[in-house]
Amino acid sequence: MSTEGSQAGVRAGRLDGRVVIVTGAAGGFGVPLCDMLEREGATVVGVDREGDGVLHADVGSEAGNRSMVETALERHGRLDGLVLNAGVQYLAPIDEHDEAQWDRLHDVMVKGPFLAIRAAWPALTRAPGGRVVVTASGSSFLGEAYKAAYVAAKHGVLGLMKVAALEGAPLGLTANAVAPAWMRTPMVERQLEDQMRLHGKTREEVVMGMVERHPVDRFVEPEEVAHAVAFLLGPEASGINGVCLPVDLGTLVG
């Protein structure tokens, strides 16, 4: 294991011996997240629809979620944590919103996490210490124009997390969420054209508008969110259950 994380203030070995599934593992947040968890000692089973070095599965489907859990158990004989991070985006006014896109977003970001938790439940509750962490968003608390499906999905996954927390607590399982503010990831980059068109702004104006929502004049770094996920997966977070931790530079305070 590299000592670089320890020198930077990371508690190396926090997740030693633990097997963790991470969905959306090939994305702009997923890659640094998996790197962080591996530096902490976890064995990571990365899952995405495409990308190198990951298990290819459709996490919006029952078959995909069952497959990733079975694969983790076949390879490693145990499963200690789920990080449900897969996400997609679609922008449109409500009166023009495509129904198929609504279904796609909710399959990936609400139904998918439900199916993943259901499939992994026996393994995660086999002994105390199982962990579920979902990637929520500032959109889990606030509305945003032209994002009906995304905002509804991000609100919905918090409800799922709270139920999992209540049902899992007697079995030693915790379920929590992290809620990042704007990160400069490829998914954010891909929505800039739609933001420009729908809001009638230039690219620079859209980007500056994202940053200006934060009390600190910058984007959130993926590594900052990854540290929060690693903490919630680790033993120090055993008493934290059913919460959503904002990693947003203080955005929700204002």
Cβ count near 56 (within 10 Å)? 13
Give helix then strand counts, H and E, for the chain: 10, 7
Computed from CA positions of residues 47, 141, 252, 234, in that sequence, does the dihedral angle turn out positive or negative? negative
DSSP annotation of 108: I
CA separation for the pair 225, 33 (Å, rounded): 8
Cβ count near 190 (within 10 Å)? 12
Alpha carbon 248 to its chain centroid, in Å, reads 14
CA separation for the pair 63, 66 (Å, rounded): 5
Which residue among 90, 121, 150, 219 is the active-site one?
150
Strand partners, 245: 178
**Catalytic site includes residue 150:** yes
Active site members: 150
